[in-house]
Structures are given as C-alpha cells and as structure tokens.
Amino acid sequence: MGSVLSYFGGLCGEKKAIEEERFLRANDRPFNLAYKYANNAIKTSKYNIITFLPLNLFEQFRRLANAYFFFLFCLQLIPQVSSLSWFTTAVPLVLVLSITAVKDANDDINRHKNDKQVNNRMVEVLVDGELKKEKWMNVEVGDIVKLGSNEFVTADLLLLSSSEPLNLVYVETAELDGETNLKVKQALTVTGDMGDCIEVLANFKGEVKCEPPNNRLDKFRGNLTVNQQTYSLDNDKVLLRGCTLRNTEWCFGVVIFGGPDTKLMQNSGKTSFKRTSIDHLMNVLVLCIFGFLAFMCTVLSIGNAIWEAHEGSNFTAFLPREPGIDTGLSSFLTFWSYVIVLNTVVPISLYVSVEIIRLGNSFFIDWDRKMYYPKNDTPAQARTTTLNEELGQIKYIFSDKTGTLTQNIMTFNKCTINGKAYGELFDFAGQRVEITEKTEKVDFSWNRLADPKFVFHDHSLMETVREGSPEAQDFFRLLALCHTVMPEEKKEGELYYQAQSPDEGALVTAARNFGFVFRSRTPETITVMEMDRHVNYELLAVLDFNNVRKRMSVIVRNPEGKLTLYCKGADTIIYERLHPSCNKLMEVTSGHLSEYAGDGLRTLVLASKELDERYVDDWMQRHHEAVIAMDGREEKLDELYEEMEKDMMLLGATAVEDKLQDGVPQTIEQLSKADIKIWVLTGDKQETAENIGYSCNMLREEMKEVFVVAANTAEEVEEELRNARRKMCPEAPDKATVIRSRAGLFWLEKTKTVEDEKVDGQYGLIINGHSLAFALEKGMELELLRTACMCQTVICCRVTPLQKAQVVKLVKKYKQAVTLAIGDGANDVSMIKAAHIGVGISGQEGMQAALSSDFSFAQFRYLQRLLLVHGRWSYIRMCKFLQYFFYKNFTFTFVHFWYAFFCGFSAQTVYDEWFITLYNMVYTALPVLGLSLFDQDVNDRWSFQYPQLYVPGQLNMYFSKKAFVQCALHSGYSSLVLFFIPWAAMHDTVRDDGKDVADYQSFALLAQTCLLIVMNTQLCLDTHYWTAVNQFFVWGSLAAYFAITFTMYSNGMFLLFTSAFPFVGTSRNSLNQPNVWLTIFLTSLLCLLPVVAFRFIRIQLRPTINDKVRYKVRREALPAPAPRRPPARRVSTRKSGYAFSHSQGYGDLVTSRKFLLKRVVRPRQVIFAQTDSPLAQNQPQHYRTIAEEPEVTKNVSWEL
C-alpha cells in the first residue's frame, strides 16, 4: 500500500526536501536517524504484488493507441452504434495488454532478485561495542563497518584506519571507472591511530559535515570534528560503494552515504524512457491518421444524412426506424459506427507486431556468434528491446578511451640506444617484417628473475646487452633505478611490482628481463641485480615528476662511490637540457622518435650525467633548506632541479604501446566510411589521449591540421575556437544560424537545429576539460559545436562524467542526429544515459556501464557489426514493415469507404466479420513478420564491404512523412482496383447454370480473396531474402485462409452457430466459377503491374546505393574476408610521441621511512594494472603483474 501511496504522492507533487549539507555523528544511530537519511538498502524495482496491476495498466493506458482501442471497445458495447461484434477489438486488446504486462513483470522480477542479492550481502558492523554480522540493507548512516581484503565496499565510507602503514588502503575501482589498476586511499592520522582497537572505535564520536549526495566520483569535500579539532576531508579519505578492497587485510570506515545516496547509485540515476525516431514519427502519423479517420467518418455521416433524407423514407416500410431516431441522430450514430468499421487504419496489431519484430531482432544480436568473446565467455546482449532500428541511424559516436578503445595493457615495444633502433625485424632484403604470434621470441631463460609474460622479438638487443655494451647497460640501469615502483617478493625469485602508473611498470619489467632486476628499496637505497650481480645503490634524491616538468630524475651513488644523475622525460624537455656534444645523436634519436610517434607509441627520452661529490654535497644542503622553507618552497625546488638537470648525456629513448583492443583501428575506419563521426571523451591526460588518437587512426598525419584548445580563460577559449573555425571555413558567418521548428505529438516540441557547414579537407580537434568547462557555457556552446562538427575527429581530455553527458546533450539538442555513447565504467553512465543509444563494454572491467546500457558486448570492434549489420538490417526491416503494414491496412479500410457509397452509408461492412477479425491477427500477421525478421538487402559481408550502405538510414530515406504519403496514395489506388474491378465483374453476372452470383456474400468473398492475394504478392515483391520460414508463412497464410473460409462457410458451422456463421455455402458457390478466378487474376495484375513498372524505371534512372550494391552482388562472387594487413609505417610529422600517465607527489612517499615499515608478509591477490587513470592527478595508482594467460591476438579482419 505504501508503494501505491508513494507513487500517487509523487504524481500529486509531493517532494522530498532537498538536502543542502550532510551532518552525522559516528556510533550514534538515534542522532542520525533524526535526519531521516536513506539506509543502505537499494531498490531498482518498480512494482510489488499489490501495485503491479493498477500501476502497469495505468502506464499502458497512457499510450495513446491503447486508450484509443479501449474507447473503441466501449463503443462496441453500445448496440445503436456497434456495427461489429465486441470481440473484434476486445481479443486483440487483451492480448496486447497481457503480453506487455508479462514482459514488464518478468523484467521487474529480475530487478527484485538483483536487489535482494545485493541487499542481503553480509558485513561486520560495530554495534554496542562489538562487531556483528549485518545485512547490507540494515546498515545506517554513521555506523562503523569493518571490511576485509577482496570485499566490496558496503557504502560510501570515510576511511578511519587500516592494517597498512600510513593508514593506506588499496582499492580497485573497476565498477566505477572500468580501471583495474589499484588506487591508494589514506585515512587521517587522528583516526588512523585507533587501529583495530574495538573499544577505542566504539567510543569514537567524530562528527562529519560534508556535501549532500551527488554523482561526482572524483570530488568530495567535508570536515571531520574530533575532540573539538576540525580536519579537512577530500576524495582520498573516502571509499566509494562499488570499489573492492585489495591487498589490505582490514580497514574500518564510518558510513557517510548509504544505498540510493551513494555516488554509485547517484550515477546510475533515473533511467529515462528512450524512444526511437521512428516511434516519434509514428506518434505524429497516428495522430494524422486519427484526423483522417475523423474526416472520413464525417464525410460518410454527412452522406448518411443526405441519403436518409432523400432515399431512406423508401425503406421504412420494411426497415422501420427505432422510436426517437431521426435523420440527424441517425447521422450522428453513423459517425461512431464508421469509427468502429474504419478503425483498421490504426490496427492494434501494429503495436504487437512492432514489439515482436524488435524482440526478434534483439535475439539475433544475443545469438550472434561473431559478437561472442570466448576469452571471458561474454556474448553480446540487447538489454533494451525497443531501440534496435535506431542502431541503423547513428551519426555521432561518443567513446570513452580507457578500457573501451584500449586493453589497459602497457607493453615495452621498441627502443633506441646510442643511435641504434631496436624492436623491429627485417628480412634479408631489408624489408620490415610484421611481428605475429608465430614470430620467434627472445629467450630469457638465462635470467632466473625474468618475468615469464614479457615478450620481445628483436634478438639483437639481448645480444648487445649481454656483450657488455656500456651504453645499453646504462640504458637499462636507468630504467631499473629512475622510478617510484614498489617491489614485493613473496618467495625467492617471485617479484611483483606496484607502480603508480602502468608505463613505469612496463619499463621496470623490461629492465628486469634484460638483466637489470629491481629487487628492493629502502628510503636510502635501491638494490638491483645487474647481470646476476648484486648491486646496492645509495639513493640521495628523487626529483619528482609533475605536469610542468614532464620529467623525473634520481641521484644515486654506486658501490664504487661514483655519483650519477639519471633522468627520463618528454623529448622536447630533455633535448633542451642535453650537452652540446649530443647534437648528432639527438638528430638520429629524433628520427627514431618520429617513427615511434607515427606508430602511435608513447615515448620517453633517457639521459644521465656524472656528478662531482662536492657539488652534490652543496646541492643537497640547499635542497634540504628548500624542502623545509615555509615560503616559496615549490619555486626554490624548481630552481634547484633546473640547476641539476642540465648538460646531460643522451642515452636513448623508450617506446611503450598502450595496447588497443583488437580491431579498433579497422572498426574506426569502417565507421568513418559510413559517415559516422567519432568523438572520444576521456578523463586521461592530453598527451595520452592524443597518442591513442593516432594509434587508432582517428587522428591522421594527412589531416590538414589538428587544433588543440587548452586555454585558461573563457575569452581565450572562445578566441581559439573561433580561429580554428575560420581556418577550416573562412567564408562561414561569425554567428551560428539556428533553425527553429516544431515537432513531436501535437507539434508541441520546440527544436533548434544548427546546420552542418562544409569544410575542405579533414581536421581534428583536441580540447581539455578546463577549456571544455568554459566552452559549454551558454554563450559559447554554439561556437564549440560549430567548430567540433567541422572536424572529422574530436578528442576531449580530462573531462568529468558530467561534462561527458553535457557534450552528448549539446549535440542532441542542436544536431537532431542520432547519438551513441560507449563506455565501460560508472564514470560513463551519465553519458550512456544521455545518448539515444547507450553501449556498455562488459567483461573483466566494471559492469556498471553495461548494467546501465541498452546494448553490451566485450570488445569495441563488435560495434561495427552492431551498427553496420544488425542496426542497418533492423532499420530497413522496420521501415519495410511499416510501409507494408500501412499499405495493407489502408487498402483494407479504403475498400470499406468506397463500399459506403453503395450501401446507403449504413456502416455495413464489405467483408465477413470473421475475416475482419482474423485479417491482421492471422491471415497477414506471419508473412509480414517473416519479412520483418529475416529480410536482408545484402548479407553481412557485403555490408562490411560497402559501409556507405549505412548512410541512407542517417538521412531517414526509407521511412518518412513523404514515404507515408506515397504509401497512402498507393493504398488509395489499390483499393479502387480491389473494389471496382470485382464490383464491375460481378455486376449482373450469372453462373454457368444461369443462377445469379451477384449477392452481397459472394461479392464480400471475392473482394476479400482479391485483397489477400494482392497483399501476399506485394509482400513477395518487397522480399529480398527468401528463407524456408518466409515461404512457409506466405503459402501457409493463403492455405489457412482458404481452409478457414471453407470451414466457416460450411453447412456444419451454420447448423451449430447459425447467427455467427451466416455465409453458408458461399465459398462453394463462388470459387468454382472460372470468371471469379479470372477476376481475381485481373485485379491482382492491375494492382501490381504499376508497382513493378515504377520500380524498374526508378532503378534505371535514379538507382540508390542499395540498388547498385545488389546489382554487384548478383554479378560477383561473395567477397572474401579481408586479409589481415600489417600496419603501414606512417611518416610522422609529429614533434613528440610523449605520454606518461604519472602523477606528482609519489617521490616523497617512496622515500618515506614510514612507508617501508617491516611487516608480516601476507598472501596477496596479484592484480595486473591495465590502464592509466583518468584521475591520475588526484591519487597514486598501482601496477601489478600476474601469472595470467596472455590474450591471443585474434584476426578479426574477417568481420570487415
């Protein structure tokens, strides 16, 4: 009952008070309950047993069509109005309502099961001074909970203490942002000192004041008051629901937000009811049809009034009027009678058929083996069954990067040392050889500490290192020393690295395999195994990385006392600080870097410098003074770093590949050919996003220019956008032209459209989150939209989840184009829900995006099959279905209209009542479903061969208002032929034995037989792809018609149900006459001949892309799967391929004594870090290597 009251309370405008600030006290339930905060139970279901029937019926009757048919049913219960039996409407209506109700009930039962499973998870809660097991749903705000390793975080918690030194915890946020590399959270010292002492924790009465519930995953602000002391809280102190605790034995936290208030659930948001453009068009067309129906009924009722006035009195002798009914009332009743008779212009079976077609096409997506990912046992899934045809009309794709385009795996690919490049293979002719799975790998078995998963193919590098080349050994020595990686060695020889960025993990692992194994570190020393020799280095200083410096250095002393500076960073930064003697080597290295940049690899340049002991002592003293300085500390440190990092000697450069998912470049190429624009919206740094843009062919060297917008003020952003637009299209007006119009039901929806502007050549645009925030403001959004839409590729980096949704909404608002968003984490949910179609990448990453999406699969490459095959087929099938359905029903109804002029406008039906009832439900239902489920203009291989076949869907070429009018005119012609040819042929006709056959029942049988044969033949003309099912449905429906007709018109049925089956013997008497069959043949010929002629002439004079490809299909063999092409070496004009997903502040942490306190080694789950984090600026992350099966690169080019 409460659900009903709350539902109708919501309808009546009852609103929950908006929370402006959250205030809570730990371990004080009565205090917190007074604020009526939500507990930790979640509810995603819509109904319960009591509310299901009333709410479901209420929702169903809000649909215009259902309400209309219910109104018709009520009309049919009035004897004076009804011209048809009540069951002709009641049976289909009950069927539709029942099917929809069962589907809704099944969906809601699944929601209830999921809710119950989550709400009944157990967690330890501190209650009355002791830990007790409680269900998640019983946890309240202010409760202190204990989490163990590998447990899900129960609610949004303020971290109090943990088992780790410095009160650190490690969490995996895959469910939130799709990233599997670990992130570090740290409790305040004042709470961390409580440890796991239950007595102290039970007496903790800290008070938290913080922001109200919101969906910002990367921000948190609040204060904790303990013993009248106030401490600031930020995102690093909070564990969010959806995270998983890793590598941490235990931690305690106080619940800040529970259940629906958690950031995970806030990001899930309310699911808006998405409808396709065809749905919206159908609503408008149905409204027009209602108007046309009213017009026809008005004409016929006026005709009835005229006929009654002039002719009706002649019939009153044997057809007396009922008392009190005069001409005016008769005309009024006739109007409603014709509303019933002509209601088939909008048959209820239309909506049933549409749902069945969408469901069938959804199953095809679910069952498609070519979209199944065997590694994770993940099939494609159509989570929403109402949007299939929209997949065939996509114009804009908005994609996340991390975990969507990339695999989250970094690999050491190539390097250049002392001017010589390594990592590529060449044949005897000097031609580059493509590296495949079969290519021989370098054997690292000589190195007992090598990582068995590391793969490298260039044997010459190993030979160079083992031969003792000082430059090569110094190169890998630098990689083993200059980093902030933390090692962990559980057993002798089993090394695992934790790195705050996966780039560092990949470089240290490369050094490990080539004989320079980073073994351990203390705050003052680094231990390395150099070619099986144990070497201890004294670590004097870490010159930490930041986004301005774009480099990192260490100063170390080797056992012989030699002091060396090792530095790695961006090429442009390092080159400025090299000794002049390196100029020649720098030129050679720059050439190699250009090649690496052309391959989309992420590069770092390495340099070193020998140092003087006295100079270092002096520098260290000044460094210490700068560190403890109260004022200008950062500036002083920067000066010292600049002083140290100069006149360095160049060692070489590394090239790391941020591995793309299989088939990403080919997929993007195919989608571009289909005139789909792809925008990447990522939280990553600009350099990282730009590198991926080049790797997957979104940004190309042949582009005229790639604009970068990275200004810090609104005026500068606007100026940069305007300058970019003027370069691309100098003649474009300064102000955007916004076309305002109306659309939707009753034309109440106001639309604004900004037309596309033509650009000569291809351009790219990169804009960072700071600039994007200004560009999305009201006065500048049109400038952003115009500039971005002129570009072939747009990459937005450092964007928040909210900004992702804002960009999607901006395009939806002004482009009137169909949009698709694809992502894999909770930070993509708002974007996925904002777009017309949301696609989630499911698998080993987070499932939050997949759960909120309309379609999900495991790999980005499946997107091309979803759109170019399933989407295009679904759109074409739906358009064919609607054209054919309106045609057959308009024709059926217009015959009634013409017959009215011959029956005194009496609302008599031209067909038998049983034919009217079964026409849409039985006789024509299955053939059109066969067409709409199985038809293909060309098969999937030809669809990939010619992506341009996708373009007509974007332009709404197959079904529009124009196509609807053409369909109505075609129906008008066919109905004239179907009525007047049989009428003229039967008029004054006699049988072979001289008896009359021109009675009403014989004419009805002839008209409906002609109609059914013409409809089936028309469907055969529309079918491009015949299957056994189609054949069975077409011939089966005709056979069923004749079988049912002969049965219903038999003597037996007449004797059993005399009033229900009055057409006794009609079929036997009519269908044995040759002139009846001749009439059927001539009628069918006259209906279909103009259609065939028109299509023939159109194909000859104005063939469409489909016509051309289908002609090619008939003349050529099936295209073979595209061969796998090795990636072509591009000559890069890019200055730098630098990209390093590192963040500031980790240098201090690794040199902290507290961080490396001795502790008992516990077994830990090994996690392989697979990506750089969008939030890398906010906290360190961790890189782990594990013994996992390497993924076999699949040859997916057969899909293309």
Residue keyed to tokens 């006259």: 1086
Listed residue (63, 3, 762, 749) closest to 355, CA to CA: 63
126: three-class secondary structure by DSSP: strand
Amino acid symbol at 135: K
Q: Which long-range contacts (CB under 8 A, 24 or more apart) does 902-908 make?
A: 902/983, 904/304, 904/307, 904/311, 904/312, 904/315, 905/300, 905/301, 905/303, 905/304, 905/307, 905/334, 906/304, 906/334, 907/83, 907/300, 907/334, 907/337, 907/338, 907/340, 907/341, 908/83
Residue pair 898/976 in contact (Cβ under 8 Å)? The answer is yes
The bridge status of strand 420-422 relative to strand 425-426 is unpaired
H and E: helices and strands count for the chain? 41, 38
Segment (H or E) for 238:
strand 238-239
The bridge status of strand 705-709 relative to strand 763-768 is parallel
Residue keyed to tokens 């992702």: 804
Tokens in use for 73?
A: 């049913």
Tokens in use for 412?
A: 């050491």
Active site residue 617: no
Which residue out of 156, 368, 400, 662 is catalytically annotated? Answer: 400
> Residue 689: is it exposed, middle or buried by C-beta count within 10 angstroms (0-12/13-18/19+)?
buried
Contacts of 901 (CB under 8 A, 6+ apart): 303
**10 Å Cβ neighbour count for 511?**
24
3-state SS of 808-834 is: HHHHHHHHCCEEEEEECCHHHHHHHHH
| Beta bridge mates, 24 | 208
Tokens in use for 686?
A: 């600009």
CA distance 384 to 866: 14
Task: Write the Ramachandran bin of 859: left for phi over 0, alpha for psi from -120 to 50, otherwise beta.
Answer: beta
Dihedrals phi, psi of 367, to nearest 5 degrees:
-90, 0
Tokens in use for 1192?
A: 């076999």
Dihedrals phi, psi of 244, to nearest 5 degrees:
-125, 130
Dihedrals phi, psi of 441, to nearest 5 degrees:
-100, 155
Query: With the CA atoms of 594, 598, 600 and 606 taken in that order, what torsion angle do they form, in degrees rounded to the nearest 10?
Result: -10
Residue pair 776/661 in contact (Cβ under 8 Å)? The answer is no
Please report the DSSP string for 416-451 in residue order.
EETTEEES-EE-TTSPEEPP-TTSPPP--TT-TT--
752: three-class secondary structure by DSSP: strand
Listed residue (830, 841, 664) closest to 178, CA to CA: 841
Please report the DSSP string for 1007-1051 in residue order.
HHHHHHHHHHHHHHHH-SS--HHHHHHHHHHHHHHHHHHHHHTSH
> Residue 1157: is it exposed, middle or buried by C-beta count within 10 angstroms (0-12/13-18/19+)?
exposed
| Beta bridge mates, 161 | 252
Provide the residue count of the chain.
1200
Listed residue (167, 490, 485) closest to 1162, CA to CA: 490
Provide the 8-state DSSP code for 396.
E
Tokens in use for 1082?
A: 């001539």
Enumerate the active-site residues: 400
